[in-house]
Amino acid sequence: MSRYQVALLCLGLLLMLLLYLGLPGPPEQTSWLWRGPSVTVLAGLTRGNSPIFYREVLPLHQTHRVEVVLLHGKAFNSHMWEQLGTLQLLSKRGYRAVAIDLPGFGNSAPSKEASTEAGRAELLELVLQNLEVQNAVLVSPSLSGRYALPFLMRSHHQLHGFVPIAPTSTQNYTQEQFWAVKTPTLILYGELDHILARESLRQLRHLPNHSVVKLHNAGHACYLHKPQDFHLALLAFLDHLS
Ligand SMILES: *[C@@H]1O[C@H](CO)[C@@H](O)[C@H](O)[C@H]1NC(C)=O
Ligand SMILES: *[C@@H]1O[C@H](CO)[C@@H](O)[C@H](O)[C@H]1NC(C)=O
């Protein structure tokens, strides 16, 4: 081979290497970190590359094709749904259940994406994509309304059901916007929650297909105060949906 040919070959190889490096990597994926007796902790990447953490239980015997995605309030993270037994109960009843650590809570780092309304809706959208959720029922207490409400307004067609529990951010949307959302909704709240529950109920009432369950003698975190009543109401709604 002449020097010219060698140079050409080297150039060709260099070009191939550059092309290879420039190709997009594998799609963002969910990988599991550890597997407990029933609950698996997973991490999925968001667009900003900050991992979001989930706690997932698979159905013991798959009897429903509905997946329950649980968000959390300001004082909590995904672990709460494990401590309360909600994840395990849903699995026993044949549902796949996933609890999420919102950015800045539990194992999930704070994320710049979460600073805008559109960013928060997109983040939830990516989470559902990561998890390959088809028929999601979104459970949204308190502060998580910051994520759930923008998502509901933009992507309600992706939701099989919605369970708001005195969520924040309902004031940000008009009556007409609520009317347009046909998603079956269970509005849950504690009898003793005089502020957020009432404020959100006034708005959520405009959702055309909703039912309301008030948990007696329970405050803002009504699922903690009356877990049995909460689980009964949630299961009745889910069983009716599927
Ligand atoms: C409410 O709406 C305003 C204006 O659209 C927006 O800037 C703000 O982030 C929204 N708040 C929440 C909590 O979504
Ligand atoms: C309302 O939701 C329920 C499920 O909770 C469903 O069975 C029913 O068909 C829905 N009604 C309308 C009018 O969409």
Q: What is the maximum alpha-carbon separation in the chain?
A: 90
Q: Mean of the pLDDT values across residues 140-166?
A: 97
Which of 142, 144, 169, 200 is catalytic? The answer is: 142
Residue 62 has pLDDT above 50, yes or no: yes
* 45 vs 28: CA distance, rounded Å: 6
Placement of tokens 């919605």 in the chain: 162
Range list of β-strands (E), the chain: 30-35, 40-45, 51-57, 67-70, 96-101, 136-141, 159-165, 185-190, 210-215
Q: Give the Cα separation of 195 and 160 in Å (integer).
A: 28
Atom 5 of ligand 1, residue of closest alpha carbon = 172
141 against 111, higher pLDDT? 141
Q: Examine the pLDDT at 1 and tell me if it is beyond 70.
A: no
Q: What is the pLDDT of residues 179-232, one digit of tens each?
A: 999 999 999 999 999 999 999 999 999 999 999 999 999 999 999 999 999 999
Burial grade of 38 (CB within 10 A; 0-12, 13-18, 19 or more) = middle
- Lowest-pLDDT range, 120-129, 186-195, 231-240? 120-129
Which atom of ligand 2 is least distant from the CA of 209? 1
Concerning whether 156 is annotated as a catalytic residue, the answer is no
Q: Say yes or no to pLDDT of 94 above 50.
A: yes
Atom of ligand 1 nearest to the CA of 172: 1
**pLDDT tier at 150, thresholds 50, 70, 90:** very high
Residue written as tokens 């999925």?
A: 44
Instruction: Give the CATH number of domain 27-241.
Output: 3.40.50.1820
101 as an active site residue: the answer is no
Average pLDDT, the chain: 89
User: What's the pTM?
Assistant: 0.85
Domain residue ranges in the chain: 27-241
What is the 98 CA–ligand 1 centroid distance (Å)?
A: 27
Write the Ramachandran bin of 94: left for phi over 0, alpha for psi from -120 to 50, otherwise beta: left
Which residues lie with the beta carbon below 6 Å from any ligand 1 atom?
A: 117, 146, 150, 169, 172
- Inter-residue long-range contacts of 235-240, CB under 8 Å, 24+ positions, other chains counted: 235/89, 235/93, 237/161, 237/163, 237/184, 237/186, 237/211, 238/64, 238/66, 238/68, 238/90, 238/93, 238/95, 238/137, 238/161, 239/64, 239/93
The residue annotated as part of the active site, out of 78, 220, 225, 229, is 220
3-state secondary structure of 6: helix
Q: Is 49's pLDDT higher than 50?
A: yes
User: What percent of the chain has pLDDT above 70?
Assistant: 87
What is residue 242's three-state secondary structure? Answer: coil
pLDDT at 28 exceeding the cut of 70: no
Q: Using CA positions, which residue lies closest to atom 3 of ligand 1?
A: 172
Closest-CA residue, ligand 2 atom 3, reads 184
Q: How far apart are CA 61 and CA 74, in angstroms?
A: 33
